[in-house]
Amino acid sequence: MNSLFEAADRCVNACGISEKIALTRQTAQAWDKGLLSLHAPDQPKPIAEPGRPSKLVLVLPSKVPKRRLGAADGLAILIHAIAHIEFNAINLAWDAVYRFRDLPKQFYSDWVAVATEEAHHFELLRERLNALGYDYADWPAHNGLWEMAVRTATDPLMRMALVPRVLEARGLDVTPGIIKRLQQVGDEKTVAILEIILCDEIGHVAIGSRWFNYLCRERGLDPEHTFCELAIQHFSGQIAGPFHYEARQQAGFTAAELRALEHVQCLATNAARSST
């Protein structure tokens, strides 16, 4: 029987788009059929850059093309930016499977399912890009999500707190506004895709919340206090609202955690005022 960890490693490192999607589906199907074990033939390797299309250029966030719907190619640039997030999310889910060992079987089942859904999201967005005459990697993108994966590579509790519950949860906040803007310009095709993604992403963030809380209980930590401390420590001055409170509550956020995010947002606002 092959190891799920080896299969997940292959998924992370696959560079070709079609290869990564195909390996994701094959691995998920093999796991669901009980063909992959949780036997680890070796320890996880130090985290490195994941497989990406060679054409993709990574730049600083300030250098990413602006997503103005009224500009030429603006819609495609917006879709490309979201597709990049979803492509990163495939790698992040498989890296969580590969990197973190000795956790309950359901942890691995949850993140295999997330990887599969993220691959579906990416395919939907890529098809929309193709319909507009473009493809993934036609524009530069930034590496913020994966940089946080590197920073949390040694601790699944930090990974669950800071990747799904902070960075990926931003999608819960901003997607409704993007949907509204697209409805105003009559782009119902992209709206339909984003509505699917928003619904699924609530579930993905909820998975992050569930395993964050599990790991806190295992270590005798208070989840709310721990999340607040980690958010302030790693994102002070970097989180901006408004927050989609209803979606975040559905995804497992407590009132205290939402207040912590508001506090981090206030730190960002005060820092911005001080610099002007």
Query: Is the predicted pLDDT of residue 275 greater than 60, yes or no?
Result: no
- The pLDDT assigned to 72 comes to 63
Query: Is the predicted pLDDT of residue 31 greater than 70, yes or no?
Result: yes
**pLDDT confidence bin for 272, thresholds 50/70/90:** very low
What percentage of the chain reaches a pLDDT higher than 90? Answer: 79
| CATH assignment, 2-40+52-275 | 1.20.1260
- The pLDDT assigned to 120 comes to 98
- The pLDDT assigned to 271 comes to 46
Distances (CA, A) of 21 to 2, 4, 76, 115, 122: 19, 16, 21, 9, 9
Write down the pTM of the prediction.
Answer: 0.93
Which value, to the nearest 10 degrees, does the dihedral of the CA atoms of residues 84, 231, 173, 25 take? 40
130: buried, middle or exposed (CB in 10 Å: 19+, 13-18, 0-12)?
exposed
**pLDDT confidence bin for 66, thresholds 50/70/90:** confident
H/E run at residue 37: strand 36-37
Span 216-262, pLDDT tens digits: 999 999 999 999 899 888 886 667 778 999 999 999 999 989 988 88
- The pLDDT assigned to 18 comes to 96
* Cα–Cα distance measured from residue 268 to residue 235, given in angstroms and rounded to the nearest whole number: 9
Task: Give mean pLDDT, residues 64-69.
Answer: 78
**Residue with more model confidence, 272 or 241:** 241
Q: How many other C-beta atoms can be found within 10 angstroms of the C-beta atom of residue 42?
A: 8
Span 110-126, pLDDT tens digits: 999 999 999 999 999 99
Span 70-106, pLDDT tens digits: 666 889 999 999 999 999 999 999 999 999 999 999 9
Task: Give mean pLDDT, residues 154-174.
Answer: 95
- The pLDDT assigned to 211 comes to 98
- The pLDDT assigned to 33 comes to 96
- The pLDDT assigned to 41 comes to 80
- The pLDDT assigned to 87 comes to 97
Query: Is the predicted pLDDT of residue 28 greater than 50, yes or no?
Result: yes
* Cα–Cα distance measured from residue 197 to residue 170, given in angstroms and rounded to the nearest whole number: 13
**pLDDT confidence bin for 263, thresholds 50/70/90:** confident
- The pLDDT assigned to 194 comes to 97
Residue ranges of domains in the chain: 2-40+52-275
